Amino acid sequence: MTTATRQRSNYSFWLLNAAAYLTWLGILVATLPELSGAPNQAFVLALFGLFFVGLSVFAFLEERPYLVHLYLLFQMIIAMIISTQVPVRAAAGISTFLFVLSAQSMLFLPLVPGLVWILIFIVVTWLAGSLTAAVIHANEFVAILGGYLFFGTFGAGLRQANEARQRSQQLLAELQEAHEQLKAYTSQAQQLAVAEERNRLAREMHDALGHRLTVAVVQLEGAQRLIPTNPERSASMIEAMRAQLKQALTELRQTVSTLRSAENSAMNGSLVTAVTHLAHTFQEATGLPIHLQLPDDVPLLPEAHRLALYRAAQESLTNVQRHANARQAWLELVADDASVTLTVADDGQGFGSEVADGRFGLIGLGERANQLGGVLTLGAAEQGGAKLSLQLPVPYVEAADA
């Protein structure tokens, strides 16, 4: 316990301290007339002074039991010596000092040691009465015993009140510390949530808009070349491009307005249906043949898993068109009870040096895989080009959730 805490704690005992000083002053005033002209007057006054010094030191003995015992022994000896140096009429009042000591013993000592000291005070009172030839009658002894018990109970009550107050202060400090920690954790959680939301929106906008705009650019380039020779085909490609841009605009509105991981409109059906539709639309728009190998049945998957696999297929086909310079591509979906794996390969030029610097689409796919406990793999295809593979574990999903 720190000094400041000790001072605050002892300050709450001002009533007991005031009672001790007033008792000392009252006994001193009552004894002075009896000492008038006595040869030992200076000696007795010095003893009173030592007892006063002890009362002043008492306030600094909290949490030091061994010093409390020394203090009680010292004060008891001083009180006994005073009782032997004053007339019999004054000696009876000296025992009141021991009442104060009984309250102090119960205040700063545990219950058993405090009661032992009260028992010692009772014995000392009886011995002091015998030495001073003052007969203590039974009714007087009962009154003295009651006085010791009363002051002891008073000191014990102060001790319990002080301990309760200290526990309350400690609990308040712990609550304040926990409150500050909770505020810090809340701030960190909010920052992480904001960062996660930004990353999620970046992935959604890149995956959804990037694919649509890539297909639209390819169609626009083709239409531009066909305008002089085949205007009807050019108009058809421009119409397809308009549909792609409308779809991209719809997805952008959905992403911005809901701020949630909303499915692409093509995901309204099953995963196999959505991937098939994506491949056919891409092949019609770009003229790049897509060889599909899809299972007849896919395990029940949560929305996040289906959307991640669909985005992987979407991003892979977009990269094939942008970077691979391929003549054809292969898209395969393999599923069992443990995992679902989507693989997209091509016969183009493979991954270039820009992959080492990281592409936003591939970074987004990697983040999706990590969040779902899956693995994203980039490598060389058997056909000579690049290969992207996304493997996700199959969690237990209720049919209604899927």
In a structure prediction context, what are the per-residue pLDDT tens digits for the chain, which is 402 residues long? 444 444 444 445 667 777 788 888 888 888 888 777 778 888 889 988 998 888 888 767 766 778 888 988 888 888 888 877 777 665 666 677 888 888 888 888 888 888 888 888 888 877 766 655 555 555 666 777 777 888 888 778 877 877 788 888 888 888 888 888 887 787 777 677 667 766 766 666 666 666 677 777 777 777 778 888 888 888 877 877 777 777 777 766 666 654 444 344 445 558 888 899 888 888 887 788 999 999 888 888 888 888 889 888 988 888 888 777 888 999 999 998 889 999 999 988 877 655 544 466 788 888 888 888 999 998 888 888 899 999 999 886 554 444
- Assign 259 to helix, strand or coil: coil
Domain ranges of the chain: 3-136, 269-402
Comparing C-alpha atoms, which of 250, 326, 256 is closest to residue 291? 326
Predicted local distance difference test score (pLDDT) of residue 340: 93
* Distance of alpha carbon 65 from alpha carbon 266, whole angstroms: 80
Question: Can you give the pTM of this predicted structure?
Answer: 0.42
Predicted local distance difference test score (pLDDT) of residue 285: 77
Length of the chain: 402
Beta-carbon count within 10 A of 3 CB: 8
Q: Under a CB-based contact definition with an 8 Å cutoff, are residues 381 and 319 in contact?
A: no
Predicted local distance difference test score (pLDDT) of residue 134: 53
Q: Where are the alpha helices (DSSP H) in 36-137?
A: 41-58, 65-85, 88-94, 96-108, 111-131
Give the number of C-alpha atoms closer than 13 A to the C-alpha of residue 2, restricted to the C-beta side.
3
CB-based burial label for 340 (10 Å; 0-12, 13-18, 19+): buried
Comparing C-alpha atoms, which of 387, 279, 389 is closest to residue 324? 387
* Distance of alpha carbon 297 from alpha carbon 380, whole angstroms: 28
Domain spanning 269-402: which superfamily? Histidine kinase-like ATPase, C-terminal domain (3.30.565.10)
* Distance of alpha carbon 267 from alpha carbon 349, whole angstroms: 31
- What residues form DSSP beta bridges with 346? 329
- For β-strands 329-335 and 290-293, DSSP reports them as parallel
Predicted local distance difference test score (pLDDT) of residue 353: 55
Predicted local distance difference test score (pLDDT) of residue 9: 47
* Distance of alpha carbon 282 from alpha carbon 288, whole angstroms: 8
Predicted local distance difference test score (pLDDT) of residue 200: 66
* Distance of alpha carbon 48 from alpha carbon 28, whole angstroms: 7
Q: Where are the alpha helices (DSSP H) in 227-347?
A: 231-258, 271-286, 303-319
Q: Under a CB-based contact definition with an 8 Å cutoff, are residues 99 and 147 in contact?
A: yes
Q: Output DSSP code: residue 324.
A: I
Predicted local distance difference test score (pLDDT) of residue 266: 43
Q: What is the H or E stretch that residue 354 is in?
A: helix 354-357
Predicted local distance difference test score (pLDDT) of residue 11: 41
